Amino acid sequence: MTTIIGIAGNQIIQSVDVFNGNHVSYTPQGFVTAVQKAGGLPIILPIGEEQAAADYISKIDKLLLAGGQDISPDLFGEDPHPKLEETNRSRDLFELALIKEAIKQNKPIFAVCRGMQLLNVALGGTLYQDLSLYSDWKVKHGQQPTQPQFATHDIQIEKNSILYPLLGERYRVNSYHHQALNTVASSLKITARSSDGIAEAIESENPKQRILGVQWHPELRFDVEAKEFKLFDYFVNQL
């Protein structure tokens, strides 16, 4: 049977001039295409009521958490920092419910960028609301204006990790984030870091809990870098 991948969706309000302010549920096309290329069946899970999470998770085989807005800092016990950017509390709460249900129903989770950060918060960790709060910040983690198909900084990958057989000990990634993991949830472990020590990948401490998170954006490079596609192939067919 085809593996059904539920991709947690985002929302956008389109231009009033073009689409009369139409509200749209969406996910970046790269996730859809990469999952399809790996043989999976992608389904977008639109932001909804927390109570619907159990039903959504019961209808999919695996959960994919995409990038997007900053995470509401009160969810990890902080007031908003002046450098906090856009948040969407409805999305935060719905995705937290999806994570809770995926773990409860033993469904694998692949989390990208914001998704990795929210996963850490869901399990009890905290974030740096902006990298300026991290004292050892030395690497440019927001690579604009460089295009996303180009990798811009190195990461060091732990040998005892999911990523090591897929990407090797050192790998070069693209980077689009100004928040980062601070305190790591006790049930998670960091399996890759940038040269300035920022967490670039996480996995569950419990091998029976199938979780993989990456801080970069493989959905923006999988068509030009075969190793990025390996992440999706692993997620759909092995995780």
Question: How many Cα atoms within 13 Å fall on the side-chain side of residue 157?
Answer: 21
User: Are 62 and 235 contacting, i.e. CB atoms less than 8 angstroms apart?
Assistant: yes
Identity of the amino acid at 167: L
The catalytic residue among 113, 141, 225, 228 is 113
Exposed, middle or buried, 142 (CB in 10 Å: 0-12/13-18/19+)? exposed
User: Are 84 and 127 contacting, i.e. CB atoms less than 8 angstroms apart?
Assistant: no
The answer for residues whose C-beta is within 8 angstroms of residue 140's C-beta and 6 or more apart is 152, 153, 175
The catalytic residue among 141, 153, 217, 228 is 217
**Among 120, 193, 197, which residue's Cα sits nearest to residue 163?**
193
Q: What is the DSSP string of 48-111?
A: --GGGHHHHHHT-SEEEE---SBPPGGGGT-PPPTT---B-HHHHHHHHHHHHHHHHTT--EEE
The catalytic residue among 95, 101, 200, 219 is 219
Catalytic site residue 228?
A: no
Q: Please tell me what DSSP assigns to residue 22.
A: -
- Which residues does the annotation mark as catalytic? 113, 217, 219
